[in-house]
Amino acid sequence: MRQWNDIFSQLENKDVARSTHLSSTRFSPMLPLTAVIAKNVKRHRIERDFSLAALAKKANISLNDLFAIENAHMRPEPEQLLALAKTFDILPSVLLADE
């Protein structure tokens, strides 16, 4: 888990990463990384023609969590990020990349 915290901290705004712990920022809307993940999850879901419910079921993520992730209200837990990447058949880093 420490490795994920380090990755998120490096990708986040340095002031946010220094002043808050990952768990306290999980529900903060529109942090830079949260917004990037949201955009990428939604884009990949639409490209694959999955409904929110279908993706939630395939990735074994609650529909409420997936909705919150796609709307940048929640940053996914590492396990959720991995499950989404596996469902999309992509590397997890693709969901973290700001393209």
- The domain segmentation of the chain, as residue ranges, is 2-96
Tokens of 91: 């590397």
Helix H or strand E encompassing 5:
helix 2-11
Q: What is the CATH number of domain 2-96?
A: 1.10.260.40
Tokens of 13: 């705004």
- Give the C-alpha separation, 10 to 1, whole Å: 14
**pLDDT over 70, % of the chain:** 69
Q: What is the pLDDT of residue 61?
A: 97
- Give the C-alpha separation, 9 to 48, whole Å: 30
pLDDT at 15 over 50: no
**CB neighbourhood size of 8 (10 A):** 20
Q: Is 28 within 8 Å of 38 (Cβ atoms)?
A: no
Question: Mean of the per-residue pLDDT values for the chain?
Answer: 81
Q: What is the pLDDT of residue 5?
A: 55
